[in-house]
Structure 1
Amino acid sequence: MTTRRGLFVAPFDALADPRVVGDLAAEAEAVGWDGFFVWDHLLYGDRVAAIADPWTCCAAIAMRTERLLLGPMVTPLPRRRPQVLARQAASLAVLSGGRFVLGLGLGDDWVGEFSAFGDEPDPRVRGRMLDEGLAVLTGLLGGGTVDHEGEHQVARGVRFRPAPRVPVWLAGRHGNRAPLRRAASYDGFFVIGLDGPADLDTVTADLAAHEPGPGFDVVVDLQPDQDPGAWVDRGASWVLTRIGPYDLDLDDVRRIVRAGPGPA
């Protein structure tokens, strides 16, 4: 298995400028990184002051690169309108020439990111919203006619064009069964909160029980000083290097980016 290496970048504070993110992505591509993924948050507590819009950042990355995969990692679908998100995702897939990956998840209200704006704070309700949103979103991205009348989402006999191929990765914390089970029906699982490489054995065994499709991606993220080798050996198809969230210094970030991914 070929393992790809990417950057998992919080567009916060010193990086809260899509032009800076685009510059970093161009440098990342030049030194051999395979992907550049940006966090999607509206709030991140008192230690983060400025935050850039990840969708604008994705557009900047798409325009400044030719090879890198890119996307939000991850956007909380329960706070989005899936039909609007489908239009955005399709446009970014076209803009990037098919390099866009849509990372989705439940979201977390730990700093009031949902409740501060009147969005749904209950994670169980957000789980149902996520499943309904996925049905509408993937149906629209698939190009077929979508008829859905649900508790949270409605789509009445609608069909979208263009309908480019957009891989969907679902995120979830290690040990939570529902996100893993949900992810197995899509294109990848971004597993958060692993204590060590051995945890991937459990993840891959549990995924195998749900029979994910060919080319399914298992994605992990590490700190810049962590050795990716052991994670590659355990079956990760993507190993991302985390940049952020706190005390970001642009010169330090550039050093991480320019050092390249190293051997996989």
Structure 2
Amino acid sequence: MHTDPSHSVISEGNASRFVDILLEFARHRTLTAAQISKTTGIPASAVYRHLALLVQSGLVAQTRRRGQYSAGPETLRLAANFHQEAMVKGRISEQLQLLSDETQELAAYLVVRGAEALCVDAIEGPQMLRCSYSPGRSLPLLKGASAMALLAHLDPQEQSRIVAGLGLGAEDADNLNHELQIVQGRGFGLSYGAVDAGVWGVSFPVFDDGGRLLGAVSTMAPADRAVRREKQLIASTRDAALALGHGEGSR
């Protein structure tokens, strides 16, 4: 049986050597095997072996100067992905802060993870709200404004798969599908005490430029306070979703 050479090296407990070598290229533009061996303490023969695998993977590249190496093209993709993710996370937090400042209520951003709605980030309003959603927590895509906004705007096949896996009876499944049709037609989820007693919620889906669902922006507030300014809370949440989705937050 053919064995992947990179697997055999890693399985010998040398994974940290790959990391040490790659970190050297984060500190220096070009390096020779001898220089890497001197700074890391890794034997030169092992450095050459590791470099060969790193060159093959695209994480390291040989330069025009014989015997010298530099960071490879795959590291550019890693850097680009890191930068993009950091920018996205920063934009989400910024928009949630603006939304919470405007509404004085809890603002949250949620995404679909499996058959659950996962809270990625949340900004509390001046008055604390007892709510099931906080960063890192997730709940089944079954009820509540956030879950409905996400589930209603999923690809139809993915939506059907998730609904089928919720273990609902025929009548409950029909009721859920009917509610999803309402949410999709309206363009956002709206709930009163569906997840937490006394909590009102509104949630708008966020789409990318190609119309793919990215997540949902939600505002949550005590029902007795929200009912007096429901239109304002809905409009503010819609605007935040539009801002995050480059104009694709509602359709």
TM over 0.5, shorter chain? no
Q: Which structure is higher in helix share?
A: 2
- Relative contact order, CA 8 A, sep 6+: which one is greater? 1
Larger Rg: 2
User: TM-score, normalised to structure 2's length?
Assistant: 0.29
